Amino acid sequence: MAQLEVTYETRHGKPRRILLVCTQRIGDVLLTTPLARSMKRAWPETQIDMLVLPGTEGALAGNPDIAQILALPQRVGLLEKLAQLRRLWQRYDLAVSPLATDRARLFCRVAGRYRVGLLQAQGERSKRGLLNRWAVFDDLDTHTVSMGLRIAELLGIPACAEVVPPTAAWSGVAEKLTALPVAAPFAVLHPYPKFSYKMWTATGWIALTQALHAQGLQVVLTGGPDRDEGDYTDQIAKSAAEQGVRVMNLAGQLSLGETAELIRRAALFVGPDTAVTHIAAATGTPTLALFGPSNPVKWGPWPQGRTALESPWPRRGSSQQGNVFLLQGEDARACVPCLLEGCERHVNSLSACLQNLATRRVIEIATRMIRSP
């Protein structure tokens, strides 16, 4: 007779409170939402709180699976850090983290009476005492969504591979779109990533606005509140205006939830490897993602409605999966993706594969997606 698998529930019963720890960037927080959804579906009455870094909680706006968001600053003094840990001490039946980091495991160890997480394949034997169960972290051949759902497997619950985008009231967005013709179809472009090595060219974005305008679409630019980001989108909008194309620039004016609501109603979204592109993919809007040195297997946008747990993307090549087309950059040295931070190996350097990505190729794919979403 086959031995029955021992799950968390068969051993401990249904948890009353769970802490999900994701102390990384906005994109990491967003791609943890499938794990939260998996746990909420398995245990509908359970309270799930999420611990994140300040500035990333916008990725969880309106998320129905999360009861409370704990945004704890990372760089604090010893006394404040001890106060954080004291407030969390053993408050949760279960603490989980899809991150293989010391910070995440420490929070799990302090907060949860039972802990599940990830360990690096090498060099972390001494850290196993922080967790009751763990899986081996793969940073190369497993998608971030799939990696997080390994936790669901460890808990013995069904894995739900649904990325949950943030939400907000549409009224706040609609007020900013009054300059658009009533019911005009529009495309959303998000030109500016957090790091320079993920950037396409300004001339490419300007040409794309002209091409979309020729297809009968209004163009709306989105971006964060940073001054450099605003200056960059202003440059694109002004250059397009000089060519007779009016572009609405909403960079710095929308929350992440409002940005998601805007994209949800768009005919097309185009963006680089950034958290907003992941949000766009999750809304179901036709999404064109421009990828350079990043690893698509791990970081390619997760298409809406995908249920298979393996990565949608190969490491090399451009293709479409569901509502997402991943267009990989071009470079004569055939080094794409190099998995490095730009050609000069730092986040503020540019990547030749994206700088050489042909504008005609981007326009061709964008046009195809508009006509056959």
Q: What is the CATH number of the domain that holds 38?
A: 3.40.50.2000
* Same domain for 51 and 196: no
Instruction: Let me know if residue 162 belongs to a domain.
Output: no
pLDDT in tens, 337-364: 999 999 999 989 999 999 999 999 999 9
Do 247 and 285 lie in a common domain?
yes
Please report whether residue 70 resides in a domain: yes
Has residue 373 got a pLDDT over 70? no
187 in the same domain as 261: yes
Question: Which of these three, 155, 187, 222, is where a domain ends?
Answer: 155
Residues 244 and 206 grouped into a single domain: yes
Closest CA to 280 of 308, 301, 255, 307: 301
What is the identity of the amino acid at 243? Q
Query: Residue 31 corresponds to which tokens in the numbers above?
Result: 């791609």
Q: Are residues 74 and 189 in the same domain?
A: no
* Residue 151 forms part of a structural domain: yes
In a domain, 260, yes or no: yes
Rounded to an integer, the average pLDDT of 214-218 is: 94
Q: Is residue 309 part of a domain?
A: yes
Q: Which amino acid is at 251?
A: A
Residues 213 and 288 in one domain: yes
**Given the DSSP bridges, would you call strands 186-189 and 287-291 parallel, antiparallel or unpaired?**
unpaired
Q: In angstroms, what CA-CA distances link 117 with 24, 58, 265?
A: 15, 24, 37
Distance CA 18, CA 36 (A): 10
In the predicted model, what is the mean pLDDT of the chain? Answer: 93
Q: Rounded distance, CA 165 to CA 13, Å?
A: 30
Domain count across the chain: 2
Each residue's pLDDT tens digit, 294-320 = 999 999 999 999 999 999 999 999 999
pLDDT confidence of 5, banded at 50, 70, 90?
low
Mean pLDDT, to the nearest integer, of 165-184? Answer: 84
Q: Tell whether 14 and 145 lie within a shared domain.
A: yes
Q: Are 209 and 239 in contact (CB under 8 A)?
A: no
Judgement on whether residues 335 and 240 belong to the same structural domain of the protein = yes
Q: For residue 27, what are the CA distances in angstroms to 58, 81, 209?
A: 11, 25, 26
Residue 160 is assigned to a structural domain of this protein: no
274 residue type, one letter: T
Final residue of a structural domain among 128, 155, 182? 155
Q: pLDDT tens digit string along 6-21?
A: 789 989 999 999 999 9
- Looking at the fold, whether 142 and 228 belong to one and the same domain comes out as no
- Same-domain pairing of 147 and 206: no
| DSSP per-residue codes, 177-238 | TTTSPTT--EEEE----SSGGG---HHHHHHHHHHHHHTT-EEEE---S-HHHHHHHHHHHH
**One domain, residues 228 and 349:** yes
* pLDDT score recorded for residue 307: 95
Whether residues 91 and 64 share a domain: the answer is yes
CA distance 284 to 181: 24
Task: Judge whether residue 61 has pLDDT over 90.
Answer: yes
Segments forming the whole domain that contains residue 47: 8-155
Residue 161 lies in a domain: no
Kindly tell me if the per-residue pLDDT of 183 is higher than 80. no
